[in-house]
Chain A
Amino acid sequence: MRVLVVEDDTAIRTALVQAFTEDGYAVDGTGDGEEGLWYAESNDYDLLVLDLNLPGLDGLELLRRVRDGERHPAVLIVSARDTVQDRVRGLDIGADDYLVKPFALPELLARARSLVRRRHGKVKPALAVGCLGLDTSNRTATCAGKTLLLTPREYALVEYLMHRAGTLVSRTELWEHVYAFHDDANSNVVDHFIAKLRRKLSDAGAPPLIHTRRGQGYLMAVDPGEA
């Protein structure tokens, strides 16, 4: 999952970037409104964490422009402005959630998970494709009742594929949602991780769930014939 943190207070921004990174998200962070808009328009983020008092471009204006644009990330406003009018205005402009500073970090991360889940049309925190189960609340993967040991990057790949289960996911899309802007990685590293994942799944005794469509991308499904 890819997250953009637009927050001008350095202390909060670095802490959020670190917290999201440790939770397996691919995170970009910036303290400037204009720069934030550029990031949001040029990448397909799952979540945008947005402060309102921003230099360069006001947070609400940034949100309005993002909502007018092509991309549709879930937006979580994190602001010290706490009046009802502020919250109503933020949500009415197109934010999905509003959190007042100072906030509890676990709450912010839980809200982030919930927003990502809903962005992909899922209601339950537990995802399942065939015998492969994924609990996003505690970030564990199980295969036929056995816990799978995954690296954060592998987990991120599985999570994205499972959110998009049944649909074709291009390698670029997968790469965009798993790697941050400053991660120095080529999209072919995705192939490497897919290969490792397949091995771990077959070791656990699962039937092939990740299917390759040559020249198009990957598909996660029990029966690949449908797509």
Chain B
Amino acid sequence: MTTPAAVNPSAIQPGGSLRRRLAVTVLLTTALVVAVAGAVAWFASAKLRRQGAESSMRSYAAATMPRLLARQWLAQRDGRTLPELLPQSLPNDTDLWRALVTRDGRVLAHSLPQEPDSAWVHALPPADGKTVRREHPTLGPVLVLVETIDLRPLALRRGDVDRPRRAEPESSDRPAVREGDLAGRRLAERFAARNEQRTEQRNDALYTWIEQLDPRLVVIHPLAELEAEARRQAWVLIGMWVLACTLVAAVVLIITGRVLAPVRRMTDAIAGITPGSDDQQVAIAGLPLELQPVQARLNDLLARVDAALTREQQTTANIAHELRTPLAGLRVKLELALQKERDPAEIAALCRQGLGTMTLLQGLIDNLLLLTRLEAGQEKPNAQAVEVQEILASAWALHQPAALAQQITLERRLEPALSLITDGDKLRAVFSNLLSNAVAYATPNSMIQVNGHEQGDSRIRLSFTNEGATISHIDAERVFEPFWRSDYARTVERGHCGLGLPLVRRLVTVLGGTVSVSVKDGKFTVLVVLPPSSL
């Protein structure tokens, strides 16, 4: 009878597609991981390439410098033209360009495709053994290494450690003994052997020449090839990245589709359940373990809904039945009265019977309306201070004539001055219904007992007991179901339609109390516990 607050479906924000969310998450993760891995690989390979270039430049510088120097010096001493430096090819077909430049920026010799201009020469990096990336007018991007002349190989040959040496800062990042040193020493030895008789003099002159000029060797490594290779690799990596993302996206879509298929099957199964359909449970074969609890909970819910619906239908059917029966009685009486010519006395008798049925019907409708109002929460208690004794007396006055006819008496055992703050009219209705029930069911010539006292927690405890219980203890709780009656015929005769105790329970609930029933030794007891104040 109660209508639960309806949930507006449009008020719930949709959570978006689970499939899309999964796909986007997996795709983004893959894209990020592959991109990071690709970038790391690319940078590592670029670094390796640059290190390769640097090492070839350094070894070249170390290997060729003494020979170069010797050739330059000899040419100058003999008044010959300085020979051209030939381009040096590296194993990977990259030309390694060189130039021999004095401290003051004069180019002694070079292998470059054209004479380097003085601005470029003056802008050369310091001779600190570090490679620097520069832009060259014709070679494009290049790696430049500037090396000072290492005199040690020559000095060692002379065995003259006392000769003044060019001050040379020992760079920490530069290896003390390099691969080229050995080759340099061998060259110097051969050079010395060939000119044995003039060694002393020549070496002195070489030293002087070197000290005057302080030449530096400039090694130039073009980077165009390497950078083009790096770009190619980058494109390959990007291509692989796109391919990986596409593949992952496709796989994720297929997999999520398969994973979510049971959800779709479940949706279809649920859609098939309507209030009228035979199957009120979802039963899907081969449901994944994760969805089985969902199905179980859903079935619980459906069972509850079904039970509620059945109850609702039962109540409606009961109301219809209860209203139709007296209505049928009334109609048949009236039709009978009109069916043929009758004595006024006969018509009066039929009318009286019809009126009786009418009164019954009215009482039923009143009770039904009150019950509905109570269930809908429309009846609020109108609290005032009331005396239990007084209310009980006024309620008993209504049922005393019926009780007297069966020689049923009322025994009141109430605590003196038992009072509480509550709705007097509703409490009277409770007492009246309970007494009416007691009178209807009590064995003739018996006693109805009403006990009342204040409990320890200051709640008021009232019990109504009558003899002649016809129901079992198991059935006791059913008395609160509307239209439930243990003995239909007997109670209908007395205007009981099975709404008394349900009404009592609703009324007592509105007053803030509780009501329960018990059956013991053929005695039926209703226990009402009320709060001292229902405000």
Q: Taking beta carbons and an 8 Å cutoff, which residues of A are in contact with B? A: 8-12, 14-16, 18-19, 22, 31-32, 53-55, 78, 80-83, 100-106
Task: Find A15's partner among B322, B333, B489 (CB 8 Å cutoff).
Answer: B333
Task: Find A9's partner among B317, B350, B492 (CB 8 Å cutoff).
Answer: B492
In the assembled complex, which residues on chain B have CB atoms less than 8 Å from the CB atom of A104? 331, 335
Extra contacts, 6 of them, besides A15-B332, A53-B325 (Cβ < 8 A), are A10-B493, A22-B339, A53-B321, A80-B324, A104-B331, A105-B336
Complex CA–CA separation, A109 to B327 (angstroms) = 18
Would you call A53 and B488 a contact (CB within 8 A)?
A: yes
Task: Return the chain B residue nearest A108 by Cβ.
Answer: B332
Complex CA–CA separation, A162 to B245 (angstroms) = 98
Shortest distance from the beta carbon of A89 to any chain B beta carbon, whole Å: 14
Complex CA–CA separation, A105 to B320 (angstroms) = 20
Task: Return the chain A residue nearest B340 by Cβ.
Answer: A22
In the assembled complex, which residues on chain A have CB atoms less than 8 Å from the CB atom of B356? 11
Task: Find A80's partner among B321, B331, B333 (CB 8 Å cutoff).
Answer: B321
Complex CA–CA separation, A106 to B350 (angstroms) = 17
In the assembled complex, which residues on chain A have CB atoms less than 8 Å from the CB atom of B327? 101-102
Task: Find A105's partner among B324, B325, B339, B490 (CB 8 Å cutoff).
Answer: B339
**B329 interface residue per 8 A CB criterion:** yes
In the assembled complex, which residues on chain B have CB atoms less than 8 Å from the CB atom of A54? 488
Complex CA–CA separation, A14 to B353 (angstroms) = 10
Pairs of residues from A and B, 4 with the lowest C-beta to C-beta distance, nearest first = A11-B329, A101-B328, A102-B328, A80-B324
**B330 interface residue per 8 A CB criterion:** yes
**B184 interface residue per 8 A CB criterion:** no
**B357 interface residue per 8 A CB criterion:** yes
Shortest distance from the beta carbon of B493 to any chain A beta carbon, whole Å: 7
- CB < 8 Å A-B pair total: 83
Would you call A12 and B324 a contact (CB within 8 A)?
A: no
Task: Return the chain B residue nearest A106 by Cβ.
Answer: B335
Task: Find A55's partner among B321, B332, B490 (CB 8 Å cutoff).
Answer: B490
In the assembled complex, which residues on chain B have CB atoms less than 8 Å from the CB atom of A14? 353
**B326 interface residue per 8 A CB criterion:** yes
Complex CA–CA separation, A104 to B339 (angstroms) = 11
Would you call B489 and A11 a contact (CB within 8 A)?
A: no
In the assembled complex, which residues on chain B have CB atoms less than 8 Å from the CB atom of A15? 329, 332-333, 336, 350, 353
**B487 interface residue per 8 A CB criterion:** yes
In the assembled complex, which residues on chain A have CB atoms less than 8 Å from the CB atom of B353? 11, 14-15
In the assembled complex, which residues on chain B have CB atoms less than 8 Å from the CB atom of A100? 324
Task: Find A102's partner among B324, B340, B354, B490 (CB 8 Å cutoff).
Answer: B324
Write the B292-326 contact mask toward A (1 if CB under 8 angstroms, else 0). Answer: 00000000000000000000000001001110111
A55 and B487 in contact, given A19-B336, A81-B317 (Cβ under 8 angstroms)? yes
Shortest distance from the beta carbon of A17 to any chain B beta carbon, whole Å: 10
Complex CA–CA separation, A120 to B492 (angstroms) = 37
A8 and B332 in contact, given A22-B340, A81-B321, A101-B327 (Cβ under 8 angstroms)? no
Would you call B325 and A12 a contact (CB within 8 A)?
A: yes
Complex CA–CA separation, A9 to B335 (angstroms) = 17
A105 and B332 in contact, given A14-B353, A83-B317 (Cβ under 8 angstroms)? yes
Would you call B328 and A12 a contact (CB within 8 A)?
A: yes
In the assembled complex, which residues on chain A have CB atoms less than 8 Å from the CB atom of B329? 9-12, 15
In the assembled complex, which residues on chain A have CB atoms less than 8 Å from the CB atom of B317? 81, 83
Would you call A9 and B328 a contact (CB within 8 A)?
A: yes
Complex CA–CA separation, A133 to B97 (angstroms) = 143
A11 and B330 in contact, given A55-B489, A81-B321 (Cβ under 8 angstroms)? yes
Shortest distance from the beta carbon of B508 to any chain A beta carbon, whole Å: 29
In the assembled complex, which residues on chain A have CB atoms less than 8 Å from the CB atom of B331? 102-105
Would you call B336 and A101 a contact (CB within 8 A)?
A: no
Task: Return the chain A residue nearest B335 by Cβ.
Answer: A105
Task: Find A11's partner among B326, B340, B487 (CB 8 Å cutoff).
Answer: B326
Complex CA–CA separation, A54 to B324 (angstroms) = 15
In the assembled complex, which residues on chain A have CB atoms less than 8 Å from the CB atom of B336? 15, 18-19, 105
Shortest distance from the beta carbon of B109 to any chain A beta carbon, whole Å: 116
In the assembled complex, which residues on chain B have CB atoms less than 8 Å from the CB atom of A16? 332
In the assembled complex, which residues on chain A have CB atoms less than 8 Å from the CB atom of B330? 11, 102
Task: Return the chain A residue nearest B360 by Cβ.
Answer: A11
Would you call B324 and A101 a contact (CB within 8 A)?
A: yes
In the assembled complex, which residues on chain B have CB atoms less than 8 Å from the CB atom of A106? 335, 339
In the assembled complex, which residues on chain B have CB atoms less than 8 Å from the CB atom of A105? 331-332, 335-336, 339
Task: Return the chain B residue nearest A102 by Cβ.
Answer: B328
A11 and B333 in contact, given A31-B489, A55-B487, A101-B328 (Cβ under 8 angstroms)? yes
Complex CA–CA separation, A105 to B338 (angstroms) = 10
Task: Return the chain A residue nearest B353 by Cβ.
Answer: A11
Write the B484-501 contact mask toward A (1 if CB under 8 angstroms, else 0). Answer: 000111101100000000
